[in-house]
Amino acid sequence: MDLDGRVALVTGASKGIGEVIAIRLAVAGAKIAVNYRTDLEGASRVVDAISASGGTAIAIGADVSVEAEAASLVKEVIDTWETVDILVNNAGITRDKLLIRMSPEDWDEVITVNLRGTYLCTRAVLAHMMRQRHGRIVNVSSVVGLSGNPGQANYAASKAGIIGFTKAMAREVASRSITVNAVAPGYITTAMVEQLPEEARQSILARVPMARFGTPEDVAEVVAFLCTEGAGYVTGQVIGIDGGLAV
């Protein structure tokens, strides 16, 4: 997959799925803006890994849920490389609790980071992408945005909102050759899954037809494809990366 000459902004890219997406896009030839909120050490590690492999990357700190910071983030990317061709809205958090115990703060924080952050970053890149009549936007949703999950009402609502947002935006900007798609990962081997008790892990695996957890690389490969010219006629889609869990 060839992304030579492209500039990609990946939010929440200091670790986990975002880190692997950033590195995968760099391998394909894109210059990468590695966004982080608080983890400068992690973001610097990702930049170093990309640079060590011959790629080009910078780390930019910003809270994507804050309007001024999201706008400044995109401006810094454009000031550095004169363009932004790819946006991967990956930044997200969880505050898992049963709804009866979920505080308004738990609800608001997840919705604000996951959904508002996606909105703000997308809005910030749109004017530039529309002027250049080209762009790739990939939003990271989740299988729970499709199926729900006990204890994750806030997270499921935010990820379902991202799906609706993706479809609406795809319709709005298709005439400018900008594609907007979403990926919906299932259970991926990130720190959150690895910390689950073994009994819980086995219970999850019993529901996955492929009988294994996904990897961040599984997600990154799909995201990378959606960013290429070969995916130019793919828009408004939600691609499950879940081993068949949502079938």
DSSP result, 80-122: HHS---EEEE---------GGG--HHHHHHHHIIIIIHHHHHH
As a whole number, mean pLDDT of residues 11-22 equals 97
Determine the pLDDT at residue 193. 75
Long-range contacts of 101-105 (CB under 8 A, 24+ apart): 102/153, 102/154
The residues near 217 (Cβ < 8 Å, ≥ 6 apart) are: 20, 24
Determine the pLDDT at residue 141. 98
Determine the pLDDT at residue 191. 76
In 3D, which of 64, 128, 129 has the Cα closest to residue 90? 64
Q: Of the listed 36, 155, 187, 233, which one is catalytic?
A: 155
Residue whose entry in the numeric block shows the structure tokens 């401006």: 75
Average pLDDT, the chain: 96
At 228, the pLDDT band (50, 70, 90 cuts) reads very high
- Model pLDDT for residues 48-102, shown as the tens digit of each residue: 999 999 999 999 999 999 999 999 999 999 999 999 999 999 999 999 999 999 9
- The C-alpha atoms of residue 215 and residue 188 are separated, in whole angstroms, by 5
**Hey, is 183 helix, strand or coil?**
strand
Q: Is the pLDDT of residue 200 over 90?
A: no
Determine the pLDDT at residue 118. 98
Is 126 or 201 the better-scoring residue by pLDDT? 126
Task: Give 3-state DSSP helix, strand, coil % of the chain, rounded to 5.
Answer: 50, 15, 35
- Model pLDDT for residues 22-34, shown as the tens digit of each residue: 999 999 999 999 9
Say whether 155 is catalytic.
yes
Determine the pLDDT at residue 194. 79
- Model pLDDT for residues 103-137, shown as the tens digit of each residue: 999 999 999 999 999 999 999 999 999 999 999 99
- Model pLDDT for residues 139-194, shown as the tens digit of each residue: 999 999 999 999 999 999 999 999 999 999 999 999 999 999 999 999 999 877 77
Provide the β-strand partners of residue 222. Answer: none
